[in-house]
Structure 1
């Protein structure tokens, strides 16, 4: 019954695309605005962890799917 529960392959692709877009947008913001202080570092760490973790999780799940 593997694969019955959890996100579909299409949803995983969407999550991966949104996560990569979020990481790219964050990098673009850093390149154009730079670091504004300790709060910016905190925001970058939290956002980077969220988007990076989502991207890695989605990519691993896509590689494991046998559809």
Structure 2
């Protein structure tokens, strides 16, 4: 149990926001097409790494029950 980390509700919120961010990014790419040049780095690299990393981190914490209110559930 991590006493100072985010709680279960906050991790679920981060997970849902990450899923929404990845979905919006995929929808934008499907609608506008694959970006070229620096826009590809910004869209795929930065946004994809942020939302993908947050998704994986939150999912790992939820699966392993590594959140501050783990004793409540």
Query: What TM-score do the two structures reach when normalised by structure 1?
Result: 0.90
1:5-44 correspondence to structure 2 within 5 Å: 5-43=4-42, 44=44
> Is the contact between residue 29 and residue 35 of structure 2 (CA under 8 Å) also seen in structure 1?
no
Q: Unaligned regions of 5+ residues in structure 2, if any?
A: none
Q: Unaligned regions of 5+ residues in structure 1, if any?
A: none
Runs of 4+ in structure 1 over 2 Å off: none
Q: State the structure with bigger RCO (CA 8 A, min sep 6), 1 or 2.
A: 2
Query: What TM-score do the two structures reach when normalised by structure 2?
Result: 0.83
Aligned residue pairs total: 66
**2:59 paired residue number:** 59
